[in-house]
């Protein structure tokens, strides 16, 4: 009986050591490197959730890729909502700082994106709460870059950084 208690104690100690090492490593990984998130709503259709309310895509969010605020036009990003800091939203980057963008329903027809900001929009115009509603977004609100669809399995794919053809810029900073 004493031997079986010794085995249980050793097992418990080994489990605790592993647990107290694994949890901080996992938390750090999820906070700094990557995590997964379920996409809700229709704002990014048809790129995400093409089936509407019947299904929700699950995407891989790469935190590491936006750590230096390096994003490109066409990237799909997760960011803290400028109107509700408790909520994260997922949108496509349409314009970068210095770009002039033709808006879709914003109070100004054309907007020059200020330094340290980006212009984001949902792919499903008219069904998206985006920069057309709240204006340019501070790079400090960036959370992650969506890189892959992980679920459902029939939709496994890498998300491409492509600007929709109807959202070409009026003028980019590189043109100046």
The set of catalytic residues is 43, 91
SS3 state at 68: coil
Phi-psi region of 69 (alpha: psi -120 to 50; beta: other; left: phi over 0): left
Please give the Cα distance from 113 to 136 (Å, whole number): 6
Q: Between the CA of residue 134 and those of 26, 103, 108, 120, 150, what are the distances in Å?
A: 35, 12, 12, 10, 30
Dihedral class, residue 49 (left if φ above 0, else alpha if ψ from -120 to 50, else beta): left
| Concatenated DSSP letters of 45-60 | TTTS-TTGGG---EEE
The answer to whether residues 110 and 101 touch, using CB atoms and an 8 Å cutoff, is yes
Q: How many of the other CB atoms lie within 10 Å of CB of 71? A: 20
């Amino acid at each position: 009986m004493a031997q079986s208690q010794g085995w249980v104690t050793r097992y418990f100690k080994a489990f605790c050591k592993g647990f107290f090492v694994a949890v901080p490593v996992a938390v750090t990984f999820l906070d700094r490197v990557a995590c997964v998130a379920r996409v809700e709503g229709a704002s990014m259709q048809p790129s995400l959730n093409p089936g509407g309310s019947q299904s929700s895509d699950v995407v891989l969010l790469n935190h590491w890729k936006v750590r230096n605020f390096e994003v490109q036009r066409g990237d799909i990003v997760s960011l803290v909502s400028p109107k509700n800091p408790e909520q994260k939203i997922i949108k496509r980057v349409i314009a970068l700082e210095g770009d002039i963008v033709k808006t879709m329903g914003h109070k100004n027809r054309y907007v020059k994106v200020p330094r340290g900001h980006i212009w984001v929009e949902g792919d499903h115009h008219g069904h998206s709460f985006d920069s057309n509603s709240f204006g340019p977004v501070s790079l400090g609100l960036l959370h992650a870059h969506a890189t892959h669809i992980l679920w459902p399995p029939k939709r496994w794919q890498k998300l491409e950084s492509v600007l929709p053809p109807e959202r070409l810029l009026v003028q980019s900073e590189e043109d100046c």
